Amino acid sequence: MKELVDVPVKGLLLFKSCLVSAEYPGIESSTKYVFDRLGVDYLVSGEQSCCTGMGHYFDLFDQMTTTAIAARNFAVAKKEGYTNITTMCATCYAINKKACSLLNNNRQVINLVNDNAKDSGLANLKYEADSFDDVENFYHVVEVLAKMADRIGDLSTINFAGVKMAAHHACHYYKIDYEDVAGNPEHPELIDHIAKACGGDVVEWYEDRTLTCGAGFSQRYVNREMSLKATHAKLESLKRAGVQLVLHMCPNCQVQYDRYQPVIEKEFGEEYDMVHMNIAQFTALALGG
């Protein structure tokens, strides 16, 4: 398990997310605003490419292609001197960690990736085994914010007392690499920790708290009924708990709750008076951004 005390606040490559940029660009601007206010040393590189997560989970990119692209992004981070890759999206987090593990532990994979880079005239993108560590070099923005929660609380300009809020911790953070998360993967509390520091009335436990958002990437489309049933079940749990604000750490989860909440209201004959917000957006709001 990670310890928040070990989460770095320097040398962070803020990894751009295609889903953040396309659906909720305010997540990136909020993250940069908060990092600036907190004095976090970070860089956004124009040379970084997509992690391929959306395409990978839609079976459009195979694992080898995804790993080769990850190796390229690792080379960009190394060249920039910002090697703590820090993501705004839980899928970017999981994709990069898996690719790093494959490169470090599978000689066939690293040879294929490096041979392809060389054949393409990109020998400068060669990956050296163990030059990145799949635990020590990969973080989610929420870990950085949770580490600095006390500082965030001190700087907060808005009193959230009386606002009943709850967290949805993304499965690609705490389920795929559960041994690497900060805290208890069976009861993740990173978002709660930040919300409490800002004075929010946090519902720490509600029925179906650890249930997936239901999106499942392609499941949202190929198994729409099953996908919406899962989301409906969780919205019902949140409603019974009287939650007004749901805080997220993954843009895909946010799309599922935010964009599909009106769809579910119509199809299931329900009404949900809930707002959905990324934790970075919430933190920026708390700091007066």
Question: Residue range 31-50: average pLDDT?
Answer: 97
Residue 177, pLDDT > 90, answer no
pLDDT band at 217 (very low <50, low <70, confident <90, very high): confident
The winner for highest mean pLDDT among 180-194, 204-218, 257-271 is: 257-271
- Please state the φ and ψ torsions of residue 45, each to the nearest 5 degrees: -100, 130
Which pLDDT value is given to residue 131? 97
Which pLDDT value is given to residue 60? 87
CB 208 within 8 A of CB 233: yes
Question: Please, which residues bridge with residue 140 across strands?
Answer: 87
Tell me if residue 245 falls in helix, strand or coil. strand
Length of the chain: 289
Question: Residue range 166-190: average pLDDT?
Answer: 88
Question: Residue range 253-278: average pLDDT?
Answer: 95
Residues of the chain by 3-state class (helix, strand, coil), percent to 5: 55, 10, 35
Which pLDDT value is given to residue 123? 84
8 CA to centre of own chain:
16
Nearby residues of 59 by Cβ (< 8 Å), 6 or more positions away: 218
Question: Residue range 167-172: average pLDDT?
Answer: 94
**Order of strands across the sheet that contains 245-248:** 201-202, 164-168, 245-248, 275-278
**Order of strands across the sheet that contains 84-87:** 42-43, 12-15, 84-87, 138-140
Which pLDDT value is given to residue 159? 87
Domains and CATH numbers, the chain: 4-139 (1.20.1050.140), 150-287 (3.40.50)
CA R_g for the chain: 19
Pick from 137, 198, 147: nearest CA to 39:
147
Pick from 177, 184, 161, 191: nearest CA to 277:
191
User: pLDDT above 90 covers what percent of the chain?
Assistant: 79
Pick from 224, 225, 228, 240: nearest CA to 274:
240
User: pLDDT above 70 covers what percent of the chain?
Assistant: 100
Nearby residues of 24 by Cβ (< 8 Å), 6 or more positions away: 251, 254, 278, 281
Tell me if residue 137 falls in helix, strand or coil. coil
Residue 245, pLDDT > 90, answer yes
Mean pLDDT of the chain: 94
Would you put residue 130 in left (φ > 0), alpha (ψ -120 to 50) or beta?
left
Predicted TM-score (pTM) of this structure: 0.95
Question: Residue range 232-259: average pLDDT?
Answer: 96
pLDDT band at 55 (very low <50, low <70, confident <90, very high): confident
**Out of 91-100, 127-136, 171-180, which region has the weakest mean confidence (pLDDT)?**
171-180
pLDDT band at 289 (very low <50, low <70, confident <90, very high): confident
More confident position, 89 or 61 = 89
Which pLDDT value is given to residue 227? 92
Residue 98, pLDDT > 90, answer yes
Pick from 71, 70, 90: nearest CA to 27:
90
With the C-alpha atoms ordered 248, 176, 8, 83, is the resulting torsion angle positive or negative?
A: negative
Question: Please, which residues bridge with residue 13 across strands?
Answer: 43, 85
Question: Residue range 9-32: average pLDDT?
Answer: 97
Which pLDDT value is given to residue 160? 93
